[in-house]
């Protein structure tokens, strides 16, 4: 899933946000897999909470992620009523989304390990 923005990188538009987006997608999937149906606010709160407020995001960015995931059929949404009695969209993970979560988690761990090794190597030669 991190590869998702390949085309942008080819076009030369590198940015930190891109990587963050990919990571954010993964966090959203994980959250939904753990907690079931949630609205945008709930997801954002949960991510902040679990990360111990290490991930501080503009909560609005979560929606881009949600649209993206929905377009791919990894999550689905339906309207419901929030705890303050307003109409809100509730998102939940799909079967393909769960599979994807497993695959991407592995990917992420591998990448993290590789990154760790590579960075450590850099540190020694310096």
DSSP, collapsed to helix, strand or coil, labels residue 105 as helix
- 18 part of the interface to other proteins, by CB under 8 A: no
For residue 89, give the nearest of 38, 48, 47 by alpha carbon: 38
CB nearer to other proteins: pick between 58 and 124: 58
Q: Which residues, numbered 47-86, are part of the site for other proteins (CB under 8 A)?
A: 58-61, 63-64, 67-68, 70-73, 82-84, 86
- Whichever of 19 and 113 has its CB closer to other proteins, that residue is 19
**Closest residue by Cα to residue 33 from 77, 108, 91, 72:** 91
Size, binding site for other proteins by CB under 8 A: 32
Contacts of 118 (CB under 8 A, 6+ apart): none
Binding of other proteins at residue 118 (CB under 8 A)? no
Number of H helices, E strands in the chain: 5, 2
User: Which residue in the set 23, 89, 98, 108 belongs to the binding site for other proteins (CB under 8 A)?
Assistant: 89
Cβ distance to other proteins smaller for residue 85 or 125: 85
6 lies in the site for other proteins, by CB under 8 A: yes
Q: DSSP labels for 87-108?
A: EEEEEEE-HHHHHHHHHHHHHH
| Largest Cα–Cα separation, the chain | 59
Q: Give the interface with other proteins as residue ranges (CB under 8 A).
A: 2-7, 9-11, 39-41, 44, 58-61, 63-64, 67-68, 70-73, 82-84, 86-89
């Amino acid at each position: 899933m991190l590869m998702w923005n390949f085309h942008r990188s080819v076009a030369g538009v590198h940015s930190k946000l891109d990587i963050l987006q990919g990571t954010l997608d993964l966090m959203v999937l994980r959250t939904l897999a753990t907690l079931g149906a949630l609205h945008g606010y709930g997801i954002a709160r949960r991510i902040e909470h679990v990360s111990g407020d290490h991930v501080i995001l503009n909560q609005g960015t979560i929606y881009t992620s949600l649209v993206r995931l929905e377009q791919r059929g990894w999550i689905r949404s339906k309207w419901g009523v929030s705890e303050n009695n307003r109409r809100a969209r509730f998102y939940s993970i799909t079967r393909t989304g769960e599979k994807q979560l497993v695959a991407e988690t592995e990917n992420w761990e591998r990448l993290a390990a590789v990154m760790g090794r590579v960075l450590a190597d850099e540190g020694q030669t310096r």
